[in-house]
Amino acid sequence: LRHLVLVLGDQLDGQSAAFDDFDPGQDAVLQMEVREEATYVPQHKRRLAFFFSAMRHFRDEQRGAGRRVHYSELDDPANRGTIPAEARRWAEALRPRKLIVLQPGDWRVREQLARLGWPIEFRADRHFLCPADAFADFAEEHPGLVMEPFYRFMRLRLGVLLDPDGRPAGGAWNYDTDNRAAFGRSGPPPCPRERSFAPDGVTRGVLALVERAFPHNPGRLGGFDLPVMRSQALAALDDFVEHRLGYFGRFQDVMRIGEPVLFHSHLSGPLNLHFLRPAEVLEAVIANPAGAPLNSVEGFVRQVIGWREFVHGIYWRFMPGYAEENALGADLPMPRFYWTGETDMRCLAEAIGHTIDHAYAHHIERLMVLGLFALLLGVRPYDVHRWHMSMFSDAIDWVSLPNALGMGQHGDGGVVGTKPYAASGSYISKMSNYCRHCRYDPHKALGDDACPFTTLYWDFLARHAPRFARNPRMKYPYVHLARKDADELAMIRRRAAALKTQLTAEAFL
Ligand code: SF4
C-alpha cells in the first residue's frame, strides 16, 4: 500500500486535500469509530448518532466511487478504542508507506497523531476559506485581532458582496442595525418547518448501536431527522435559502418557546463535519433565489466568512494555551440542571430542552441564555466548553473553544470579543417570549420573584468593576451601577452569593 488516507469524523469530504493524489490502485481510506472520542466527555446520544451515521454514509459513498475503505466499527472486538492505537493497528496490518490526514479540528488529536510512530503527512484543510498563512498575515497587520476588519478583509479577499468598483454591496459592510429586531408584541411571523430526513437502514443501525452502547448518556435519540449525507445537506441548504433566509437577518437574535431553529440555517453540523462546503453555502445564499433582503444575505455571509473563519484562525493561533485561559478567575462548576433542564427559569429550561431534544440550540440561545447564565454565575470557562462538546451535534474543538470559552465566557480576556456578553433578564425579556411564561420578573434583582439573571448581572458588574468599568463599550452599564443605592447593591450581592451556592451545589462534572 502506498498511502493510507485517514479520514476523521469531522473531515467527511471526498474532494478534500487528503485525496488530491489518491490512486485507487495503490491507496486506501481509513475511518474509525473509537470509544475514547465518544467518552472523553459524556456525549449526547444524538451527537454520537449524527457522527457515526455521517461517517458510515461517507464510507458507503466512497466505496460506491471505487475507493477501498477500511472501517472500524465501534463494537468490533478488534477495535483498540483510541485514534492513535487504532490507526497504528491498521498501519501495522496494511503497511502503508505513509499515512495522509488533513489538519485535525482538535489540537489533542493532532498531537496524538504526530506521536504515532508511523510516517504521517498532515495536509492543510482547504475547507476553510482563510488559509493559516493568510490569517497570520492579517494578525501581523492587525494585532488587535478584531472580527469586523477581518470580515472586511475576507469580503475583499473572496470578492463577496462587492460592487464592481470594490465597494460593499448596498453601500455598507454591515447591516447589524437592521438585524436586531426585538420579539415585539406578537413575535416574528410563523416559521416554516425545516426539512427533515427520515433515518434509513444505516442510520437505524447506528441508533440501535448508540442506545445499546451508551444507554445512560445525556440527550434523546427519538425523532432523529438530521441530514447525514451530502445530498441531504444540499437539500437542507436549498430549503433554508428558499424558506428561512428572508427573515434570518431581522430575527436572528429572537427566541421563541418551542422553536429551537426559528429562521436559522441549522447547517453548522453538516458544515463542521465537512460534508457541506462553506464555498457552496456562500454560492447558494448569494444566488438568493427567493429574493431575501440584503441585511439577511449579508448577515449570513458574515457568519460564514467572518465569524467562522475568525474563530478557526484564533484557535490555531493561540492553542494549546488558549484552553487554559480563565481571565475572570471563574471557579464554579456547571450546575447540574444544564444536563437535565430541571429549572424553574423558563429561558434556561427552554434552551436546555432544545439541546436535550435536538443536540442543538441556535446561536443566540447558546450565547445569551446558556452562556450568559454561566458567565454571570462564574462557571469555569473550560467546563462550559466541555458542556458544548458534550451536548451539541455541531461542536468541534476549534469552534467550541473560541465560542464557549472566549466569546461566551470572556475567558480569553478579550481576544474574541472586546467586552463580555453580560446582560440582565431585561435583555431576554426584550428578545423572547420566555419571561411572559416564567415565575420570575426579569426587571427585579431582589425579592422572591427576582430574576436570577438580573441579580447575578449586577453582582457581575460590581465584582468585575476593576476590569471593565473603564471599558468604553461598558460605559452605560457602569453608569447604571453607580446609581444603585449602596444598601440595595449589598443585598443584591448577598442574594447572588446565595444563588451561586444553591445552584452549583449539585454539579454533574
Ligand atoms: Fe429567564 Fe429571568 Fe426571563 Fe425567567 S424572568 S425567563 S429566568 S430571564
pLDDT value at 509 more than 60: no
Q: Nearest-CA neighbor of 337 among 325, 328, 346, 327? A: 346
Report the nearest atom of ligand 1 relative to the CA of 345.
Answer: 7
Instruction: Output the pLDDT for position 507.
Output: 60
* Cβ proximity of 250 and 189 under 8 Å: no
Could you tell me which residues come within 8 angstroms of residue 419 by beta carbon, excluding any fewer than 6 positions away? 410, 468, 471, 473, 474
Instruction: Output the pLDDT for position 144.
Output: 86
Distance, CA 90 to ligand 1 centroid (Å)?
53
Distance, CA 290 to ligand 1 centroid (Å)?
36
Instruction: Output the pLDDT for position 200.
Output: 98
Mean pLDDT for 142-166 is: 93
Instruction: Output the pLDDT for position 143.
Output: 86
pLDDT value at 234 more than 60: yes
Q: Is the CB–ligand 1 distance for residue 347 below 6 Å? A: yes
* Cβ proximity of 240 and 287 under 8 Å: no
Distance, CA 436 to ligand 1 centroid (Å)?
8
The phi, psi pair for 17, rounded to 5°, reads -60, -25
Q: Is the CB–ligand 1 distance for residue 214 below 6 Å? A: no
* Cβ proximity of 194 and 268 under 8 Å: no
* Probe residue for ligand 1, chosen from 337, 345, 441 as the CB with the greatest number of ligand atoms within 8 Å: 345
DSSP collapsed to 3 states, 234-300: HHHHHHHHHHCHHHHCCCCCCEECCECCCCCCCCHHHHHCCCCCHHHHHHHHHHCCCCCCHHHHHHH
Q: Nearest-CA neighbor of 330 among 237, 464, 140? A: 464
Distance, CA 448 to ligand 1 centroid (Å)?
13
**Of 145-149, 309-313, 422-426, 439-443, the least confident:** 145-149
Could you tell me which residues come within 8 angstroms of residue 186 by beta carbon, excluding any fewer than 6 positions away? none
Q: Is the CB–ligand 1 distance for residue 431 below 6 Å? A: no
Q: What is the pLDDT of residues 163-185, one digit of tens each?
A: 999 899 999 999 988 888 999 99
The phi, psi pair for 80, rounded to 5°, reads -85, -5
**Of 32-46, 78-92, 286-300, 391-405, the least confident:** 32-46
Instruction: Output the pLDDT for position 140.
Output: 93
Q: Is the CB–ligand 1 distance for residue 450 below 6 Å? A: no
Instruction: Output the pLDDT for position 508.
Output: 58
Q: Is the CB–ligand 1 distance for residue 345 below 6 Å? A: yes
pLDDT value at 33 more than 80: yes
Q: Helix count (H) and strand count (E) of the chain?
A: 24, 5
Distance, CA 364 to ligand 1 centroid (Å)?
15
Q: Nearest-CA neighbor of 214 among 352, 43, 31, 408? A: 43
pLDDT value at 10 more than 90: yes
Report the nearest atom of ligand 1 relative to the CA of 424.
Answer: 8
Residue type, 35: R
- CA 480 to chain centroid, in Å, comes to 33
Cell of 288: 438568493
Note if the pTM is more than 0.90: yes
pLDDT value at 246 more than 60: yes
DSSP line for 199-238: --HHHHHHHHHHHHH-TTSSS--TT-----SHHHHHHHHH
Mean pLDDT for 130-152 is: 93
* Cβ proximity of 15 and 58 under 8 Å: no
Instruction: Output the pLDDT for position 505.
Output: 83
Longest dimension (CA), the chain: 79
**Beta strands 3-6 and 27-32, pairing class:** parallel
Report the nearest atom of ligand 1 relative to the CA of 439.
Answer: 4
Q: Is the CB–ligand 1 distance for residue 442 below 6 Å? A: yes
Q: What is the DSSP letter of 371?
A: I
Indicate which residue's Cα is closest to atom 3 of ligand 1: 435
How many Å apart are CA 108 and CA 319, to the nearest integer? 10
Residue type, 222: G
How many Å apart are CA 220 and CA 101, to the nearest integer? 33
Cα–Cα–Cα angle for 160, 161, 167, nearest 5°? 105
* Probe residue for ligand 1, chosen from 337, 346, 350, 454 as the CB with the greatest number of ligand atoms within 8 Å: 346
Q: Is the CB–ligand 1 distance for residue 440 below 6 Å? A: yes
* Cβ proximity of 203 and 324 under 8 Å: no
Indicate which residue's Cα is closest to atom 7 of ligand 1: 345
| Spans of all domains in the chain | 3-123, 132-191+244-318, 337-503
Helix axes 452-463, 486-503, angle to 10 degrees: 110
CATH of domain 337-503: 1.10.579.10
Q: Is the CB–ligand 1 distance for residue 388 below 6 Å? A: no
Mean pLDDT across the chain: 96
Q: What is the pLDDT of residues 364-412, one digit of tens each?
A: 999 999 999 999 999 999 999 999 999 999 999 999 999 999 999 999 9
Mean pLDDT for 466-490 is: 95
Report the nearest atom of ligand 1 relative to the CA of 437.
Answer: 6
Share of residues in the chain with pLDDT > 90 (%): 94
Options 2.30.38.10, 1.25.40.80, 1.10.2020.10, 2.140.10.10; which CATH number does 132-191+244-318 get?
A: 1.25.40.80
How many Å apart are CA 449 and CA 104, to the nearest integer? 48
Report the nearest atom of ligand 1 relative to the CA of 425.
Answer: 8
Q: Is the CB–ligand 1 distance for residue 302 below 6 Å? A: no
* Probe residue for ligand 1, chosen from 347, 364, 454, 457 as the CB with the greatest number of ligand atoms within 8 Å: 347
Q: Nearest-CA neighbor of 386 among 405, 370, 409? A: 405
pLDDT value at 439 more than 90: yes
| In the block, residue with C-alpha cell 448501536 | 209
Report the nearest atom of ligand 1 relative to the CA of 438.
Answer: 4
Q: Is the CB–ligand 1 distance for residue 390 below 6 Å? A: no
CATH domain 3-123 topology: Rossmann fold (3.40.50)
Instruction: Output the pLDDT for position 249.
Output: 94
Q: What is the pLDDT of residues 351-369, one digit of tens each?
A: 999 999 999 999 999 999 9
Indicate which residue's Cα is closest to atom 8 of ligand 1: 425
